Amino acid sequence: MTETMLRVNDLVVDFSTPSGNLRAVDGVSLELSEGETFAIVGESGSGKSVFARTLIDLLAGNGSRSGSIEVGGRNIDELTRSERKHFFGVEVAMVFQDPMTSLNPVKRIDAQLTEAMRYHLDMSKSEAKDRAIWLLKQVHIPSPEKRLRQYPHELSGGMRQRVVIAMALACEPRLLIADEPTTALDVTVQKSILDLLDELRVDRKMSMILITHDLGVARGRADRIGVMYAGRMMEVGATEALFSDMRHPYTQALLDSIPNPAMPSHSRLKPIPGRPPNLLDPPKGCAFAARCRHARYDCLEEAPPLDGPDGPEGHRWACFHPVGTPEGEAALAANLQDGETATGLPMNEVGELV
């Protein structure tokens, strides 16, 4: 039987700001099995990174959370202070977005790579150095002995990202969180980094959360996908089920906004109209209603729960008028007839928001 590696129940994260309370994560629940890759996708500002940092207990000073987080069957709130020191970075580790800011610019690579191993694994300096060389080989960095003596600025972006991955893997974590691990890298390096993460996950039977704004990356790498918007999960399901039978209008809008190489040259892109809601003053109903072509008046009054009783097992969505359902088609037809959605967004004769 596959072990549940991560269990998150009704996670809420708030930040106290001079302008008021900001709810960055709003009631997210998630289970992740051993060896599984779960991708979280969504626009910038949807709460993906805050959710990830909360899992490793990295909240800013003005942040607070409620809900429970269990990693490997252990509730992180029940860990003692000394246990916490050897839990984060050992049981669960994270690859951050920007390798240049994740690495100390005034320390050589060897000092940064061996520090965690000496602290958490009680290794001698020579043992930690030998393991650091082995780790750099694992992430396919050539001449690892030479690289250990270099500073971050002497390495390329791809190499710096591989060093950050090596640091995250140094203590053999059971859960790896990769937050936009290919940000600012060219396409060939992106593929190499993603291939490496997948290879290491399989070899080590490690669970992984992959955070990305790229649905194409998520489709090629994840077992399951969660679509996040305004701090909430809008749709969750097995990767192929979600792509072949997507239900939430936001998921569809994200997919439609991706450039399609099969389209004729100079074809217009389809951006998502409007902008995400102000989380200091969130809407009463569905957070996506103000940008949704399916939106009706009930969407403005109540936030739909994340469910999907008629979908495949594990496929859930938070929408009263889902794509591809009689309710969704009826809502779209009503909006077409009115020439606008319930939120006042104008529509053209083929149902596109204008």
pLDDT at 206: 92
CA distance between the termini of the chain: 51
Are 323 and 310 within 8 A, CB to CB?
Answer: no
CA angle 82, 166, 161 (to 5 degrees): 120
Domains of the chain: 4-222 (3.40.50.300), 232-258+273-338 (no CATH)
pLDDT at 308: 63
pLDDT at 311 over 70: no
pLDDT at 46 over 50: yes
Q: Which of 234, 297, 313 is nearest to 28 (CA)?
A: 234
Are 183 and 98 within 8 A, CB to CB?
Answer: yes
Average pLDDT of every residue of the chain: 90
Tokens of 257: 């906004």
Per-residue pLDDT tens over the stretch 47-106: 999 999 999 999 989 999 999 999 999 999 999 988 988 899 889 999 987 777 789 999
* CA atoms of 159 and 198, how far apart (whole Å): 17
* CA atoms of 229 and 268, how far apart (whole Å): 25
**Residue 42 CB: number of other CB atoms within 10 A?**
25
The model's confidence at residue 193, banded by pLDDT at 50, 70 and 90, is confident
pLDDT at 312 over 70: no
**Strands of 63-71's sheet in order across:** 20-33, 4-17, 63-71, 74-75
pLDDT at 169: 87
The model's confidence at residue 25, banded by pLDDT at 50, 70 and 90, is very high
The model's confidence at residue 32, banded by pLDDT at 50, 70 and 90, is very high
- The share of the chain scoring above pLDDT 90, in percent, equals 62
- Neighbour-count burial for 250-272, b at 16+ CB within 10 Å, e otherwise: bbbbbbeeeeeeeeeeeeeeeeb
Q: Give pTM, 2 decimals.
A: 0.91
pLDDT at 261 over 90: no
* CA atoms of 15 and 8, how far apart (whole Å): 19
pLDDT at 184: 65
Which amino acid belongs to residue 173?
P
Per-residue HEC secondary structure of 35-92 comes to: CCEEEEECCCCCCHHHHHHHHCCCCCCCEEEEEEEEECCEEHHHCCHHHHHCCECCCE
Using the Cα atoms of residue 131, residue 182, residue 244 and residue 345 in order, give the sign of their dihedral.
positive
* CA atoms of 106 and 233, how far apart (whole Å): 40
Q: Which residue has the tokens 């909430």?
A: 232
* CA atoms of 337 and 351, how far apart (whole Å): 10
**Residue 354 CB: number of other CB atoms within 10 A?**
9
At 218 the three-state DSSP class reads helix
Over range 244-270, report the average pLDDT.
87
pLDDT at 313 over 70: no
